[in-house]
Chains A and B, each alone.
Chain A
Amino acid sequence: MHNESLKSQATFPPKSTEPRPEHPPEVPLAIHDLTVAYHRKPVLWDIELNIPEGKLVGIVGPNGAGKSTLLKACLDLIPKTSGWAHIYGKPYKKARHLVAYVPQRESVDWDFPVSALDVVAMGAYRRLGWFRRVTKEESAKALHCLEQVGIDHLADRQISQLSGGQQQRVFLARALMQDAELYLMDEPFAAVDAATEEAIVALLRKLSDQGKTCLVVHHDLATVTTYFDWLVLLNMRVVADGPAETTFTRENLQKTYGGKLNLLEKAAEALRHTIN
């Protein structure tokens, strides 16, 4: 088994020997030569990305393409086999204050005995540092963040008493609480109601208007071009990236999804017919 994985590694192109390209330091997220492997099997290979400031960026690709892994590697949550990801020119450890992360909803236990407001207040913990309690100002701010996602009336509810969409909004409010410049969101639209989806889109637009950058892992091809203005097509490698209109092409999608696209295409086609 080990031999096999070694062999499969050997078939990948050797590391480039060219000098590292200089990224302008103002780029919110610059990734160079990033490779991530689980149990010696590569999940991401040689990722090279420059995410421009103020864009709503969709990350699209089939299951197992490494979309979540890409976000986690940028956040130092999983080790990088090689390469780096810089946030405004700095490694993550020195740029924590610039990044907010919205994990997948299933990543936590929603039966945990805390209220919605408690969870949002966690977004202030880095500012507070070790030992210091949540202050009155931070609590008021947390309530304001809940208001921005439209559920401030649920602030005192224990989180298991919220619907899936409301739980997702709590996570978004927590990210807002972090006051970041770059937002990394892992499938915020997964299994939410229509009202929540609208609220999230409105919020993303607002963040983008404020010059913040949002990277959003997304599944629904039908909404890609309406929600996002920049696109990263990912399937272990970056298949294509650039402005949404020019990147979201049949050819690029074919390359990203391979044979699986046909089915998706048919679904999208059917959807287009019902809308028109």
Chain B
Amino acid sequence: MNWTSFDTWIVVIGALCAMACALPGCFLVLRKMSMMGDAISHAVLPGLAIAFLITGTRASVPMFFGAAIAGVLTALFTQWISRFGNVDRGAAMGIVFTTLFAIGLIMIRQAADNVDLDPGCVLYGAIELTPLDTVGSTGIPRAALVNGGVLLANLVIILVLFKEFKLGAFDSALADTLGFSSQFLHYLLMTMVAVTTVAAFESVGSIIVIAMLIVPPATALLLTRKLPAMLLIATVTAALSALLGHLGAIIVPPWFGFQTTTTSGMIALAAGVLFTLAWLFSPIEGILVKRWHRNHSEPEEVPEPGGA
């Protein structure tokens, strides 16, 4: 293996992006809205295309606004369709995001075909190339700054509004009766997901975004029964997935005589492997421990972490 600073940057960018996704992802999972991440990450495409068509550049700021607006609209349309069309929430989501995604694809194909905003790049990303695009003379890749910035923003919002996010996710009716608008909290989370998605798009592609929004939080939920610990474990799992994913991409394929493979795909796969390990071996929710407890102890007793 030939590890260069290039590889280090790929891991850093992947980890920053994965952590930025995992934080709002925890609340998506807790609100039982996991698919909303999938929906929004697709539906931001027309927002990106329109922002590009209006400004004519791929500058980040208009792209963020376009994506944020598209993301909030996705949530809004979903709510309208399920309420007024008497359609189940999941179906409404499916209608909205496929339609918006299709519109985005058509717009990109028609208007921006000759520019570097192609659908393939959006889906799979090009994390291997991101270290080449550095900011000025600092040598720091732009993708690291963008994803790092988004991670910081998500972290600050969740730390400042931790109590409100917890309340809104656990009992939105109570939030409303106490004067914390559950609508506001909902759309704030949707905006965070949309902005995070766009930051990740350019560097790592949407597949890994969908994986990182959901898989690390789901893994964390198997390992702890405390919300702060869940956020921490999800973040660590996300970063670990990036490292293992990139290692996997350059180490594993040569074993079988292949060229190195795509890092984005391997990061998502690594997250899946970590989830499987947690599912099997978690001291509180793991199926092996549960089976052991069923055979060896009173079902009434709560298995303590570390007790197995």
| Chain A residues in the interface with B (C-beta under 8 A) | 39, 72, 75-77, 96, 99, 101, 103, 107-109, 112-115, 118-119, 122, 125-126, 128, 130-134, 157-158, 160-161, 174
| Chain B residues in the interface with A (C-beta under 8 A) | 30, 32, 86, 160-164, 166-167, 169-171, 173-174, 176-180, 221, 224-227, 229-230, 302
Report whether A101 and B160 are in contact in the complex, using a CB–CB cutoff of 8 Å: no
Residue in contact with B173 in the complex, picked from A107, A157, A174, CB distance below 8 Å: A107
Report whether B176 and A76 are in contact in the complex, using a CB–CB cutoff of 8 Å: yes
Further pairs besides A39-B86, A75-B173, A103-B174: 18, Cβ < 8 Å: A77-B176, A99-B177, A101-B177, A103-B173, A109-B32, A112-B30, A113-B221, A113-B227, A114-B227, A115-B226, A122-B166, A125-B178, A126-B179, A128-B163, A133-B162, A134-B163, A160-B225, A161-B225
A101–B169 CA distance with the chains assembled, in angstroms: 17
The majority secondary structure among interface residues of chain B is: helix
A108–B172 CA distance with the chains assembled, in angstroms: 9
In the assembled complex, the CB of A130 is this many whole angstroms from the nearest CB of chain B, namely 7
Chain B residues with CB under 8 A of A122: 166-167, 170-171, 174, 178
Chain A residues with CB under 8 A of B30: 109, 112-113
Given A114-B227, A158-B225: A130 and B173 interface contact (C-beta under 8 Å): no
A1–B302 CA distance with the chains assembled, in angstroms: 53
Report whether A109 and B177 are in contact in the complex, using a CB–CB cutoff of 8 Å: no
Q: Which 7 A-B pairs have the closest CB atoms?
A: A158-B225, A126-B178, A113-B227, A108-B171, A112-B170, A75-B177, A113-B225
7 sampled A-B residue pairs with Cβ under 8 A? A39-B86, A75-B177, A96-B177, A99-B177, A107-B171, A122-B178, A131-B160
Report whether A113 and B174 are in contact in the complex, using a CB–CB cutoff of 8 Å: no
A126–B179 CA distance with the chains assembled, in angstroms: 7
Given A131-B161, A161-B302: A77 and B170 interface contact (C-beta under 8 Å): no
In the assembled complex, the CB of B256 is this many whole angstroms from the nearest CB of chain A, namely 40
Most A-side CB within 10 Å, residue of B173, B177, B180, B229: B177
Given A77-B173, A125-B180: A130 and B226 interface contact (C-beta under 8 Å): no
Given A113-B224, A114-B227, A128-B163: A96 and B171 interface contact (C-beta under 8 Å): no
Report whether B164 and A130 are in contact in the complex, using a CB–CB cutoff of 8 Å: yes
